[in-house]
Amino acid sequence: MDHRNVSKIRVSVLCLAAALAGCSSSESDQVSVQSKLISSCSNSARMALEGWHLNQLPEAYVRQTLQSMQGNVERAASEIEALRDVDTAQRGMLARSVTDIVNLLRQAQSQVAHGDHDTVQTTLHLKDAIEGLSLTSGVKRST
């Protein structure tokens, strides 16, 4: 399976997750679904960055994956922000976690754009940020 097919599958899965998010019955369910989506997208970006570091994935694929996953993270974060019955303190902690993830995705994109394959630190920080999101949202890690 080439990288274009993998990318199409990822987009399909993300669209399905977004559609299912609209079916949740409560705002806490929405937070859980959106947090899982953010975690999943962030992990996809992290894996692409690891492949870049190991020279196993082409620049265009990694760049496109990072951009796409960042957009998905930002949209999911907007969904959480729009929820009014979520505790203000929890919303603030989630926002900080997501901001950390988005900043790391931007840093990763910059590294790829500059041909910098030494992305170990960014990958580790991204993994830590994903774990922080899991703790903040109360969602168990799946990876």
pTM: 0.78
Between these two residues, 53 and 8, which has the higher pLDDT value?
Answer: 53
- Residue 98 in domain: yes
**pLDDT for the residue numbered 10:** 63
Q: Which domain holds residue 112?
A: 3-137
Mean of the pLDDT values across residues 54-68?
97
In the structure encoding, which two tokens stand for residue 82, read together? 């729009």
Lowest mean pLDDT among 21-25, 44-48, 52-56, 67-71: 21-25
Whether the predicted pLDDT of 81 surpasses 80: yes
- Residue 59 in domain: yes
- Residue 74 in domain: yes
Nearest to 53 by CA among 128, 126, 134, 108: 108
Q: Which amino acid is at 104?
A: L
- Residue 29 in domain: yes
Work out how many domains the chain is built from and give that number: 1
Tell me what the pLDDT averaged over the chain comes to.
Answer: 86
**What is the domain-level CATH number for residue 29?**
1.20.120
- Residue 142 in domain: no
Return d(Cα 115, Cα 24) in angstroms, integer: 42
Contact call for residues 98 and 38 (beta carbons, < 8 A): yes
Nearest to 21 by CA among 10, 9, 37, 8: 37
Whether the predicted pLDDT of 90 surpasses 90: no
Return d(Cα 128, Cα 114) in angstroms, integer: 24
**What is the distance between the terminal CA atoms of the chain, rounded to a whole angstrom?**
22
**pLDDT for the residue numbered 136:** 87
